[in-house]
Amino acid sequence: MPLRSALTLTMLLLFHGLLPSVEGYSSPCDGYCKDEDSPVCGTNGVTYRNFCLYMNAACRDKTLSLKSTNACEGYVPESKSRPSLFGTVTSTSSSKYSCNNTCNNERFQVCASDDLTYTNPCQFNAARCKAGGNLWVVDYKPCSQISTLRRTCGLGTLCTSSQKCMMELESDTTRFCADTCTNMSCSKGKVCKLLRSKCDSEPCPPQPTCVSTT
């Protein structure tokens, strides 16, 4: 094989992450990541220490996507104070949020659960802090590019094909619970509310329930 063809093949394999770093070259899927603890959860159930490490993993695994900008269930954080994706979010035992709202205008759009598109994750995190943490990432693209039938709701839950993510009342006769995946519709004279059901342990997750208005 001519030398030029061999080098071309090697570069292609490196580009697709099929070869380890050699002779000063590194795969684009192994980009440098800062040593910061800002965990995110992938759809494979793995908690990545920060968004950069997740992006490296997503580069190698094209089926991987982001489930939540929080850690996956069961993850034990290294500390209570941690930096956000591109800003600073400090949580305390009193569940209050302190935000660093200094963000650049780098364009990496985020669609959030309030149906608004933020310019980048830093601006999203600033909005999440102001909302007391009650804001979640739907996807890393403009909201206009996401089907309302497949949007994530609440803590990164992905609706099934038979469910809808509703963030407001549909109509006077058909109502869906806000910010939850549900295929439940309430008849006239009832509204759909999120109520905590009886369960063995607290806190109980809120469940969509039709409640009479009379």
Instruction: Tell me how far apart the alpha carbons of residues 14 and 63 are, in angstroms, rounded to a whole number.
Output: 19
The model's confidence at residue 166, banded by pLDDT at 50, 70 and 90, is low
User: Does the 30-73 domain belong in CATH 3.50.50.60?
Assistant: no
Which pLDDT score, from 0 to 100, does residue 184 have? 62
Question: Cβ distance 51 to 38 under 8 Å?
Answer: yes
**Element containing residue 125 per DSSP (H, E):** helix 121-130
Instruction: Tell me how far apart the alpha carbons of residues 33 and 176 are, in angstroms, rounded to a whole number.
Output: 42
Q: Rounded mean pLDDT of 114-126?
A: 84
- pLDDT digits over 183-202, tens only? 666 677 776 666 665 656 55
Q: Provide the sign of the torsion angle of the four alpha carbons 19, 24, 28, 30, taken in this order.
A: positive
Instruction: Tell me how far apart the alpha carbons of residues 142 and 136 are, in angstroms, rounded to a whole number.
Output: 14
Nearest to 6 by CA among 23, 82, 56: 23
Amino acid at residue number 129: C
CATH architecture of 75-85+100-179: 2-Layer Sandwich (3.30)
- pLDDT digits over 140-154, tens only? 788 888 765 455 555
* Maximum C-alpha span of the chain: 83
Nearest to 124 by CA among 96, 144, 103: 103
Question: Cβ distance 180 to 154 under 8 Å?
Answer: yes
3-state secondary structure of 122: helix
Residue 182 scores a pLDDT above 70: no
What pTM was computed for the model? 0.34
Cis peptide bond prior to 20, omega within 30° of 0: no
Q: State the DSSP code for 4.
A: H
- In this chain, the answer to whether the domains covering 30-73 and 75-85+100-179 adopt an identical fold is yes
Q: What number of other Cβ atoms are within 10 A of residue 199's Cβ?
A: 10
Which pLDDT score, from 0 to 100, does residue 6 have? 45
208 φψ region: left (φ > 0), alpha (ψ -120 to 50), beta (else): beta
Q: In the chain, what are the domain boundaries?
A: 30-73, 75-85+100-179
- pLDDT digits over 50-86, tens only? 888 888 888 888 888 888 777 777 665 543 333 333 3
Residue 20 scores a pLDDT above 60: no
Instruction: Tell me how far apart the alpha carbons of residues 60 and 69 are, in angstroms, rounded to a whole number.
Output: 20
Question: Cβ distance 185 to 191 under 8 Å?
Answer: no
